[in-house]
Amino acid sequence: MSYAPDAIAAIATAPGRGGIGVVRISGRDLSRVMQGVIGRELTPRVAVVARFLGADGEALDRGLALWFPAPASYTGENVLELHGHGGPAVLGLVLARCLELGARIAQPGEFTQRAFLNDKFDLAQAESVADLIDAGSAAAARAAGRSLSGEFSRYTHALVAALVELRALTEATLDFPDEDIDFLRTANAAQRLAALQGQVSSLLARSRQGVLLRDGLAVVIVGAPNVGKSSLLNRLAGDDIAIVTDVPGTTRDAIRSEIDVRGVPLHVVDTAGVRESTDAVETIGIARTWEAVARADLALVVTDARDTDDAHGALLAGLDPALPRIVVRNKIDLMGAGPRRQSLEGERREVWMSARTGVGLDLLQDAVLEVAGASEDMQGAFLARERHVQAIIVAQRHLDSATAQLAIPSIELVAEELRAAQDALSSITGAFGSDDLLGEIFGRFCIGK
């Protein structure tokens, strides 16, 4: 009897009850599972109504069975999908039956890992599968979709290809030193390098937008009691499409909320109710709040617009000077004043608004997104991760050094910097080693020269 040691199985749908639940099995040889559960061969890629059989031959469930023979499947292996009824008990029975037939429980992400190992997609795409599933907003989901479809990878590959070309030129110069400098000049090495730097900067900007969509911004709301901090938080959380999940601690603890501002997730901590205290529990709450302030990316300093500047001067002075801040002049409805936004010196922004009526909220949202570095629309964003951004920054540094070395010129060091830049960029997609470079060099230059 054939036994597939590498077959993995899992319930692919979310836990809990639903209309449909899917058990997915992937492996090199699924014949035993197929025979045992379905009792017959299936036509590839045709949805078939079938009984899912238990060991005694009795049906555990009845549903659709889908058979994707390798390599035309998600993982690149043979894949069987059993779409049954979406109850945890019945799905558990079907899964247990698959395990009985030789499959083992899949590790988290193992289907996608296999897809990567079988070259179904590269590392960046594999990562975006998880990001698409985790996306907390429509904008983040669209950006993840772009990365998954390979747009991010294609852009990165194109950069790597241009780098390889430049490396090939440089290294050929090293091999044929007689022609070195002239050769590089005719080949426009400096212009090529400058163009590459421009493209890497653009990749960095688009990836940073993606990181913002994915990871969001930590925001703290600070201000004296009663200036309207809680009202502002509610106003920011806004209408029913915003996602608000209060995590209630004690009433004296900081309130944390997840808010979506035009697709960018804000992790907001409202410090309302924080005051000097001798109460032990309250002190813990206060300490936590200040920890949150210390970790924040942005502070919203709320004041009553009718107060003088001095009222929040001490608060502003107490914040880490490096922490970006927006002063929110609240309650303008009580002054009969209109909303406005001001940029003062020292990166200081002020927004005049009313949390009660909502006027000026859009100005505050603009200011928040500006501080976050979000572009107008997130159309070009790639749902990148910090790992990608760091890799791009490393590549950028090496290209800068290469430019400096080219001016000297020190061709060996240019070659070395270009190699390092390529390694950094290639780590994004997890592809392209030195063999490729050799192929590239030998493919472009005739050895006999």
| Residues at the interface with ligand GDP (CB under 6 A) | 223, 225-231, 272, 330-331, 333-334, 354-356
Q: Report the alpha-carbon distance of residue 344 to residue 339 in Å, rounded.
A: 16
59 or 334, CB closer to ligand GDP?
334
Please report how close the Cβ of residue 323 comes to ligand GDP at its closest, in angstroms: 19
Burial class (CB in 10 A: 0-12, 13-18, 19+), 133: exposed
154 or 275, CB closer to ligand GDP?
275
The answer to whether the CB of 213 falls within 8 A of the CB of 381 is yes
In one-letter notation, the amino acid at residue 191 is Q
125 or 271, CB closer to ligand GDP?
271
Bridge-based pairing of strands 78-86 and 59-68 is: antiparallel
Phi, psi of 9 (to 5 degrees): -140, 150
95 vs 8, 25, 33, 391, CA distance in Å? 10, 9, 11, 40
The answer to whether the CB of 87 falls within 8 A of the CB of 17 is yes
Please report how close the Cβ of residue 391 comes to ligand GDP at its closest, in angstroms: 42
Please report how close the Cβ of residue 227 comes to ligand GDP at its closest, in angstroms: 5
Please report how close the Cβ of residue 308 comes to ligand GDP at its closest, in angstroms: 18
231 or 401, CB closer to ligand GDP?
231
Q: Which two structure tokens, joined as six digits, stand for 127?
A: 């990562």
Strand-pairing partners, residue 270, are 221, 255
Please report how close the Cβ of residue 329 comes to ligand GDP at its closest, in angstroms: 10
Closest residue (Cβ) to ligand GDP? 228
173 or 354, CB closer to ligand GDP?
354
Sheet holding 8-11, edge to edge: 48-53, 59-68, 78-86, 18-27, 8-11, 104-105
143 or 274, CB closer to ligand GDP?
274
Please report how close the Cβ of residue 62 comes to ligand GDP at its closest, in angstroms: 56
